[in-house]
Structure 1
Amino acid sequence: MITKSQVGEGAMTVQHRILEAGAVRIHTVEQGSGPLVLLVHGFPESWYSWRRQMPVLAQAGYRAVALDVRGYGRSSKPRDPAAYRMLDLVQDNVAVVRALGETSAAIIGHDWGATIAARSALVAPEVFHAVGILSVPYTPPGGPRPSEVFAQMGGEEEFYVSYFQEPGRAESEIEPDVRGWLAGFYRALSGDTMAGPDPHFVTRDGGTLRERFPAGALPSWLTEEELGFYAAEFERTGLTGALNRYRNMDRDWEDLAPYAGAPIKQPSLFIGGRRDASTMWLSDAVDAYPHTLPGLTGSHLLDCGHWIQQERPDDVNRLLLEFLGSL
């Protein structure tokens, strides 16, 4: 079953749908017609993170569909934390493509969405014929257990991924002031407002992440109205669904063991930020692209922070259109 509502946006129409995707429902926002391009957001964001890409893709002749990942926005939020494992999210993407009446799509992701998009292309290459990866480089499954890796990354302090593991702990920091916390988190990873070249997302002595966020004005890419949209979504839904993605990394490591070391062979694109900690932490993964992404058509570093498609929308749109046009 599909429910629809429509609102005008410029010369194009934006269509909201709730798609049945197996045991869950996924909220999508669609603009344009033509070859399907599925857009997957990261943390802590929503379909709205692609607001500057969708009209450009639509005007170029693509069917741009941005979704709320399960746990976010109007999509389902299962209670069981284990329902947010990577293979479930891959199947959500496959189900969305089919519910839209398509057999294949190019998939583009940012932050966690980059990893979800890459894993979707790896696990379901018959559905996802091309993949765009923004900010978080592709690393094949395998290697050390993730919880062990992240436990070491903070040194004597606690790395944010480890901090997110305990149910309710991060929620108790964020949910009393969602808008203020989001503003700080976005500032900390934005190229024009971050405190330094590495935001050091760690806590110390039982403290909070908020204590380490830079103060000041919003980053240049984010208006008060846009921040209000994000805040309203999380004030309505809470943060548990979004944080449950982090709480499944060891499960993913086990689930994806059959794909250990596997490359993605489809055409691929990577766009990172020179001041993005996610890109810098995984620079070795970018160096390994000749082996891990043999279909890579381009690897680009832009002068920005983490929120790449919002910080540098014109550059990202140009690179996406060049990539999609080459398929």
Structure 2
Amino acid sequence: MSQQPAPSPELTHRTVPSPAGRIHLVEQGTGPLVLLLHGFPESWYSWRHQLPVLAAAGFRAAAIDVRGYGRSSRPGDVAAYRMRELVEDNAAVVHALGERSAVVIGHDWGATIAANSALIRPDVFRAVGLLSVPYTPRGGPRPSEVFAGMGGGEEFYVSRFQEPGRAEAEIEPDVRGWLAGFYAAFSADTMPAPDAPDPHFAGPGATLRERFPGRRPGWLGEAELDFYAGEFERTGMSGALNRYRNMDRDWEDLADFDGAPVTQPSLFLGGSLDASTTWLADAVAAYPTTLPGLVSSHILDGCGHWIQQERPEEVNPILTDWLASLPV
């Protein structure tokens, strides 16, 4: 296995106190604070292409390891990964960095956490950027009921992740191989053809991995895969998977926010080939109601799910232009 890539000397690693215990973050630059939240199964490292660009544009960019990942605390209780807890982690990071407010930007699960951070703590988060996963207000039936009805006779990956230990048993014997396949399954240059079996689902008695491509996407070199695999080989997968295991708790916890819009200035970026974006096309269409502060919305043609890693040359100027447009 090749050595993990050395961080730029301009990057500063630190841990700060939070309700989780500690949150690890990597920051670069000075200026207005921008908090960057990763998704599953990633880490602060998924923002490696954005940190120096945001810093050069005059911002203090801080990419965290979300609770359960990397060097951040990993509580043993599954319920410790509910949305309200993650929102309070984010607010604690802002305050620990000596700031009163921040812009929050998230990808994948990080986008959902970012939107809820803006919704629940508007006193801290003055603007929100969402990558890949659109904002959908709380509402409708319990999420577990929705996911159980998907796929016909096949099992949706979110349902598969619900039982503690089950997904871990598939992933942890070969973390590196599973991650490589998962990243490839949802990258534009390696995802299965539209008429191939969908890797979001597993057939009866099968695993998700059986539908993963055998090729590696262009953005994922040896060094990148080594970094991600090294993190999850060290921590295990349970902390990351526990986010999925709180979706019904979130539905209960956020009842007071049923249908609530996020009103701060906002940005959305999605990929035209990303199911996380295309399946939620109705949510994007509802933005005039659900994101009334939307400043700009972009769908990158031919882009998959890992948007800021697949297409940083397009994502970075969109982010910096939007950030520059925000009142301080």
Give TM-score, length-normalised by structure 1.
0.96
Match of 2:51 in 1: 54
Match of 1:116 in 2: 113
Paired residues for 1:232-311 under 5 Å: 232-303=230-301, 304-311=303-310
Q: CA deviation at 1:206?
A: 2.1
Whole-Å separation in 1 of the counterparts to 2:266 and 2:176: 35
Match of 2:322 in 1: 323
The one-letter amino acid paired with 1:212 is: R
Matched, 1:213 2:196: no
Q: CA deviation at 1:8?
A: 6.7
Match of 2:3 in 1: none
| 1:9-57 Cα shifts (integer Å, max 9, x gaps) | 2xx6110001011342000000000000000000000000000000000
Aligned in 2, Cα 1:265/1:206: closer, same or farther, shift over 3 Å?
same
Whole-Å separation in 1 of the counterparts to 2:59 and 2:321: 13
1:136–1:279: 8 Å Cα contact kept in structure 2?
yes
2:30–2:60: 8 Å Cα contact kept in structure 1?
yes
Whole-Å separation in 2 of the counterparts to 1:262 and 1:295: 13
Aligned in 2, Cα 1:63/1:144: closer, same or farther, shift over 3 Å?
same
Secondary structure in structure 1 of the residue aligned to 2:11: strand
1:197–1:275: 8 Å Cα contact kept in structure 2?
no
Matched, 1:85 2:118: no
2:137–2:261: 8 Å Cα contact kept in structure 1?
yes
Match of 1:4 in 2: none
Q: CA deviation at 1:290?
A: 0.4
| 1:231-252 Cα shifts (integer Å, max 9, x gaps) | 0000000000000000000000
Whole-Å separation in 1 of the counterparts to 2:281 and 2:193: 18
Question: Percent same amino acid among aligned pairs?
Answer: 72
| 1:294-315 Cα shifts (integer Å, max 9, x gaps) | 0001110002000000001011
Q: Which moved more, 1:279-288 or 1:16-25?
A: 16-25
Whole-Å separation in 2 of the counterparts to 1:161 and 1:130: 29
Whole-Å separation in 2 of the counterparts to 1:39 and 1:8: 17
Q: CA deviation at 1:144?
A: 1.3
The alignment yields a C-alpha RMSD, in angstroms, of 1.1
1:134–1:271: 8 Å Cα contact kept in structure 2?
yes
1:109–1:115: 8 Å Cα contact kept in structure 2?
yes
Q: CA deviation at 1:143?
A: 1.4
Whole-Å separation in 2 of the counterparts to 1:143 and 1:200: 26
1:164–1:246: 8 Å Cα contact kept in structure 2?
yes
Match of 1:192 in 2: 189
The one-letter amino acid paired with 2:220 is: L
Aligned in 2, Cα 1:266/1:52: closer, same or farther, shift over 3 Å?
same
Whole-Å separation in 2 of the counterparts to 1:123 and 1:287: 23
The runs of 5 or more residues in structure 2 that have no matched partner are 1-5
The one-letter amino acid paired with 1:71 is: G
Secondary structure in structure 2 of the residue aligned to 1:13: coil
Whole-Å separation in 2 of the counterparts to 1:14 and 1:224: 21
1:110–1:133: 8 Å Cα contact kept in structure 2?
yes
The one-letter amino acid paired with 1:39 is: L
Match of 1:105 in 2: 102
The one-letter amino acid paired with 2:314 is: D
Whole-Å separation in 1 of the counterparts to 2:288 and 2:182: 33
Whole-Å separation in 1 of the counterparts to 2:57 and 2:127: 17
Whole-Å separation in 2 of the counterparts to 1:170 and 1:200: 15
Matched, 1:41 2:71: no
Matched, 1:66 2:63: yes
2:35–2:104: 8 Å Cα contact kept in structure 1?
yes
Q: CA deviation at 1:196?
A: 2.2
| 1:200-245 Cα shifts (integer Å, max 9, x gaps) | 41111121100111112x1011111110000000000000000000
Secondary structure in structure 1 of the residue aligned to 2:270: strand
Whole-Å separation in 1 of the counterparts to 2:208 and 2:130: 26
The one-letter amino acid paired with 2:124 is: V
The runs of 5 or more residues in structure 1 that have no matched partner are 1-6
1:275–1:305: 8 Å Cα contact kept in structure 2?
yes
Alignment length (residue pairs): 318
Secondary structure in structure 1 of the residue aligned to 2:149: helix
Match of 1:138 in 2: 135
The one-letter amino acid paired with 1:270 is: F
The one-letter amino acid paired with 2:80 is: A
Whole-Å separation in 1 of the counterparts to 2:199 and 2:255: 30
Match of 1:176 in 2: 173
| 1:259-293 Cα shifts (integer Å, max 9, x gaps) | 00000000000000000010011110000000000
